[in-house]
Amino acid sequence: MQTPRCPLICRSTLVRRQKACLIWLATAFSCCVVGLAPDTLPVCIAAETKAESSEKEDSISNDGQPDLDAAIEQKLSAQSLDDFEKVIDLCRRAIRKGLPKGSKDFADNLIVGTLIDRSVMLVDAIFDAPRPTPDWPRMRSFAMRDLNELVKRDPKLGLAHLMIARLQALPGGNPDKAKKSADMAIKFLSSDQNPVELAEAHIVQGNLLENGPKRAVHYDKAVALAPTDTRFRRTRGLFRLLRNEFGPAREDFIAALKQDPNESGVYEALGMSYMMDNELDDNERLEEAKNAFDKAIEITPDSAAPRLQRARVLAMLGEKPGALADLDKAIEISPQKAVPLVLRARIQQQSGNLEAAATDLAKVLKNQPGNPAALELRGLMAADAGEYSAAIRDFTTIAKQDPPDPLVLGQLGMLHLAAKQPRAAIAWFGKSLSLDKTLFLSLRGRSDALISIGEHKKAARDLKAALKLHPEDSGVLNNLAWLFATSPDNELRDATQAIELATKACEETEWKAAHIISTLAAGYAESGDFKKACEFSRKALAADAGNGGIDEQLKKELSSYKEEKPWREKQSMAEAELSDNETATDDSEESSTKENNADRKKQPMGQEKPRRPFD
């Protein structure tokens, strides 16, 4: 930041002016004495009168001049806060003792310039320190004292308003006063004379706003004012990155790196903009991200953050040994950081090294018992092992944290569903949807739970809402078609819709999913077309070929259609009570938490076990 300084007149300059004035006065007096022309006499007399008046003023109110001279000398060599304090004290002492008007104005300007210099020194010490100093709140108080005096002396001093805005925006400051000061700085700073400072005022104002588009306007103005300043490019780039505007964010990061190619943090942000951009080809985005993280590590080899990010990329590329090596180094650099330990545990878990994963998670949870990432991974590992009580306990701990996360609440619903507790699951899904009505997984999960206890109408409502969010989801299409075709509720059944939805589900799965083809058969049976019902039921048996675990059930359906009887199905699952040591033993239920399982169809009335697993 450039520091504007008060224009100074050194002591020798003042002496030269005083000597010139004396010479001019002597010359004028001698001209009058030798008898100049009458028309020049008034000029000489006026000059003599003015000089006498000045001499009179000086003799009355110039006692503070020595102190002012000392202040000037002190200012020329000032380097510390104490030096600036001496300058201000000397100026104020000079004014109290008495100065002519011109000298008094000069003393006032010297005070203003010194207050600015001292404020800049304090503000820079707060914001430019490599690490925050513990004394920064006290330094802010000192700076605010000077800055408040400055704006009182000159309300249009834009630089002072800018510094106030920056200080008030810090923790413990006043955001409203910060916004007001930023507005004043923007108003009084000149785009011609102070483009960088004006740009900084726009950045401060943008940071204080919550509205995204309004923030973007201020960041855009800052970059337009100082397009080569890496700070403003970096700020706008990070803002764009958080808004998932990955392409524009990359433009800012690349522009910043052209100005300063040694910014490790900008390379790290550039890598993130590639890694998170799913619009790019996977190989391109991951390789570009890796290259950026490589550069960041080259610049700051002892920084844990870029190694952590590169480990993520390597894991996604399937290079798990390289990822683990980066994480080992990141943990060596920052042994107390939880994130690299959790990420290493996740990679170990995916590699089947469950004991190593559990060890890392235990280290994290020993120091941070409520760490949500560690609790989540430990809970998922417990669920995979069928230990649903332990999984539910970990996710319940996460759910109690503020603010509540609808995804976590929905996951708790899934866990209770897997633990054969559909009613508890419905309660958790309800809490999740109360926070986010458009959460697909919670809508789908609650519909499964409702079907398992025979609440078909409520389940259909959830499935219809889920279908609006994902119109081509084969699981939702299939389950809703199954309800329309097989529910004992006469008001709910609708053969036409069942056939339409089941046909679309079969197309989405390329006619390879036996349980979905059987749903289409049930739809035709409900319509009275038992010939087609038998045709598609046989196709379902052929597609299953005994591999899907539903062969016997499909044969029962076909027998029903041969007798020209439509299929009816309604579940009534009892609520299980799990102890800490109890685990789920039903393979079909355990598979409910895994991907790529068949959609759960509901059993005929009187059948105790679900005919098909949940997705």
How far apart CA 164 and CA 180 sit, in angstroms, is 10
Domain presence at residue 533: no
61 pLDDT higher than 90: no
How far apart CA 187 and CA 136 sit, in angstroms, is 28
Domain presence at residue 79: yes
**Signed CA dihedral, 50, 56, 60, 66: sign only:** positive
Average pLDDT of the chain? Answer: 86
Percent of the chain surpassing pLDDT 90: 79
Q: Write down the pLDDT at residue 586.
A: 37
At 5, list the tokens.
């300084």
How far apart CA 230 and CA 411 sit, in angstroms, is 42
Domain presence at residue 89: yes
Tens of pLDDT, residues 343-359? 999 999 999 999 999 99
Confirm if 376 and 407 have CB atoms less than 8 A apart. Answer: no
DSSP alpha helices (H): ranges in 470-529? 474-486, 495-508, 514-527
Range of the domain at 101: 1-23+62-154
Q: Write down the pLDDT at residue 549.
A: 72
Confirm if 120 and 83 have CB atoms less than 8 A apart. Answer: no
22 pLDDT higher than 90: no
At 360, list the tokens.
């890392």
Domain presence at residue 404: no
How far apart CA 203 and CA 119 sit, in angstroms, is 20
Tens of pLDDT, residues 286-295? 999 999 999 9
555 pLDDT higher than 90: yes
Classified as helix, coil or strand, 445 is: helix
How far apart CA 554 and CA 612 sit, in angstroms, is 11
Region 578-604: what's the mean pLDDT? 38
Tens of pLDDT, residues 90-136? 999 999 999 999 999 999 999 999 999 999 999 999 998 888 888 99
pLDDT bucket at 579, cuts 50 / 70 / 90: low
Q: Give me the number of domains the chain comprises.
A: 1
Using CA atoms, how far residue 284 sits from 116, 251, 253, 288, 291, in Å, is: 51, 17, 18, 6, 11
Domain presence at residue 1: yes
Q: Write down the pLDDT at residue 548.
A: 64
How far apart CA 108 and CA 92 sit, in angstroms, is 8
Matching residue, tokens 């203003």: 112
Domain presence at residue 142: yes
Of the two residues 612 and 342, the one the predictor is more confident about is: 342
261 pLDDT higher than 60: yes
Q: Write down the pLDDT at residue 578.
A: 67
Peptide bond into 403 cis (omega under 30): yes
Q: Write down the pLDDT at residue 145.
A: 95
How far apart CA 567 and CA 585 sit, in angstroms, is 29
Matching residue, tokens 């038998």: 534
44 pLDDT higher than 80: no
Confirm if 478 and 502 have CB atoms less than 8 A apart. Answer: yes
Domain presence at residue 489: no
598 pLDDT higher than 50: no
Show the beta-strand stretches assigned E in 232-321.
Answer: none
At 133, list the tokens.
């100093």
pLDDT bucket at 35, cuts 50 / 70 / 90: very low
Tens of pLDDT, residues 332-341? 999 889 999 9
Q: Write down the pLDDT at residue 133.
A: 85
Buried b / exposed e over 296-322, threshold 16 CB at 10 Å, is bbebbeebbbbbbbbbbbbbebeeeeb
37 pLDDT higher than 90: no
Of the two residues 163 and 6, the one the predictor is more confident about is: 163
pLDDT bucket at 2, cuts 50 / 70 / 90: very low
Domain presence at residue 144: yes
Percent of the chain surpassing pLDDT 70: 84
